[in-house]
Structure 1
Amino acid sequence: MVRLTIDGKVVEAKKGTSILHAAESVGIKIPTLCYIKDLLPDGSCRMCMVEIENRGRTKMETACTAQVAEGLVVTTNSEKVRNARRNVLDMLLSNHKTDCFSCRANGDCKLQDLCYEYGVSKTSYEGEQTDLPIDDSNPFFTYNPNLCILCHRCVNTCHKIVGRGAIDTMERGFDSVIGTPFNVDWIDTTCESCGNCVQACPTGALTMKRRTKYRPYQVDKKVLTTCPHCATGCQYYLVVRDNEIVDVEAADGPSNKGLLCVKGRSGCF
């Protein structure tokens, strides 16, 4: 165990623990966009930047990748840190459509939430924006590359949690998109249309097609139940609007751990 200080709180954590986890253990929230619990950190979004003082030297690092060490002094919400996060959001918006009212994820978007929290309403980096065709070929969900922030949450979910490896980051630089290897049709890939990549997406880039029937703020209630399609016992929430089931969301049940198969997620639609 090592001792460090996070926002004035003395914290004891096991050696090898990330600063993100150490902060969470004492109730300090650090914002993330790319991080997925229980996976090795991707460190691509840079939203979890914190100040770390060690032996008189202070530097900025990502809390998801930086590990605890004896005597560290960590600051998670200084003006320098907040400015760094604002700059990240500013750059993300430089290549992101901001017509939120027409977006299926309006009200259920982590990027939107963070932009509100940090007061970023538009980008200061004006220039060309990605204008790529929307991929609507999958029978259950849609991919809009113009709303993608390349956080890799969908790719990491598919590769490292689901174990299918049906999607990946294609092309490079400004042309980067999430797609199927060799750009083949969905029916010719290993994709089972489970939709776990969609649930992992923090923006409106990946959305279920049935999202056209409702917005999150119109939901009346969510009812926890057990999937009836097999004996595994996966748990999910029935999303109800006006006494009609409009969607399902995977719950962190003992047998499914926040995942669903295509039958569980889309079998009743």
Structure 2
Amino acid sequence: MVKLTIDGIQVEAEKGTSVLHAAESVGIKIPTLCYIKDLLPDGSCRMCMVEIESRGRTKMETACTAQVSEGLVVTTNSEKVRNARRNILDMLLSNHKTDCFSCPSNGDCKLQELCFEYGIERTTYSGEQTELPIDDSNKFFTYNPNLCILCHRCVNTCHKVVGRGAIDTMERGFDSAIGTPFHIDWADTNCESCGNCVQACPTGALTMKRRKNYRKYQIDKKVLTTCPHCATGCQYYLLVKDNRIVDVEGANGASNKGLLCVKGRSA
């Protein structure tokens, strides 16, 4: 165990613990976009930047990748940290469509939520934005690369959680996008349409097609139940609008840990 200070709070954590987890253990919330619990950190979004002072030197690091050590002094919400996060959001918006009213994830978008929290209404960077074709070939969900922030949550979910590996990050630089091998249609890959990548997406890039029938803020209640399609016992929430089931959302059940198969999510 090592002792460190986070925002003036004395914290004791096991060696090898991330600063992000150590902060969470004492109720300090650090914003993330790419982080997935129980997976090795990706560190691609940079939203969890914090100030870390060690041996008289202070530097900015990502809380998801930085590990605790004896005597660290961590600051998670200084003006320097908040400015760094504002710059990150500004850059993300520089290549992101902001017509939120027409987006199925309006009101249920982590990027939108963070931009509101940090006061970012529009990008300060002018220039070209990517214009890539929308892949609507899958029966159940749509991928709009023009709303993607390349956080890799969908890829990491597909590869490391589901174990399917149907998608990956394609091309490089400005042309980077989440795609399928050899650019074939999503429907023609080994994707089994489980939709776990969609649930992992923090923006409107991946959305279930049935989302066009409702917005998240219209949901009256969520009902926890057990999937009836097999004996595994996966749990999910039924999303109810106007006394009708409009969608389901994977719950952290003992047998499924938030995951669902195509039957559980869409049957």
Matched residue, 1:125: 125
Q: CA deviation at 1:106?
A: 0.3
In 2, the alpha carbon distance for the partners of 1:183 and 1:192 equals 17
By how many angstroms is 1:204 displaced?
Answer: 0.2
- Secondary structure of residue in 1 paired with 2:17: coil
Tell me which amino acid in the other structure corresponds to 2:259: L
1:253 to partner: Cα distance: 0.3
RMSD over equivalenced CA pairs, Å: 0.6
**Structure 1 outlier segments of 4+, above 4 Å:** none
Unpaired segments ≥5 residues, structure 1? none
Structure 2 contact 135–186 (Cα < 8 Å) conserved: no
Structure 1: distance between partners of 2:161 and 2:185: 23
Q: Which residue of 2 aligns with 1:113?
A: 113
1:188 is displaced (CA, Å) by 3.1
How many Å apart are 1:186 and its aligned residue? 3.0
Displacement after TM superposition at 1:127 (Å): 0.6
| Aligned-partner Cα distance in 2 for 1:104–1:184 | 25
Matched, 1:22 2:19: no
Structure 1 partner of 2:254: 254
- Superposed, 1:178-193 pairs within 5 Å as 178-193=178-193
Instruction: Kindly state the Cα deviation for residue 177 of structure 1 after the two structures are TM-superposed.
Output: 1.1
Q: Which whole-Å deviations, capped at 9, do the CAs of 1:147-174 have from their partners, x for residues lacking one?
A: 0000000000000000000000111111
Q: In structure 2, what residue type is equivalent to 1:248?
A: V
1:185 offset after TM fit, Å?
2.8
SS in 1 for 2:217: helix
**C-alpha distance in 2 between matches for 1:153 and 1:260:** 16
Normalising by structure 1, what TM-score? 0.98
Task: Find the counterpart in structure 1 of residue 55 from structure 2.
Answer: 55
Confirm whether residue 236 of structure 1 aligns to residue 231 of structure 2: no
Structure 2 stretches of 5 or more lacking a match?
none
- Structure 2 residue 263 is matched with structure 1 residue 263: yes
The percent of aligned pairs where both chains have the same amino acid is 87
How far is 1:183 from its partner? Answer: 1.4
Deviation larger for 213-222 or 176-185: 176-185
The residue type paired with residue 85 of structure 1 is R
Map of 1:87 onto structure 2: 87
Secondary structure (helix, strand or coil) at the match of 2:21 reads helix
Q: What is the match of residue 213 of structure 1?
A: 213
Take 1:258 and 1:182, find their aligned partners in 2: how far apart are those partners?
30
Deviation at 1:182, TM superposition (A): 1.0
* Distance in 2 (alpha carbons) for counterparts of 1:173 and 1:137: 26
Number of residues of Structure 1 aligned to a counterpart in Structure 2: 267
- Secondary structure of the structure 2 residue equivalent to 1:159: helix
Structure 1 counterpart SS, 2:245: strand
Once the two structures are TM-superposed, the CA of residue 263 in structure 1 deviates from its matched residue by 0.2
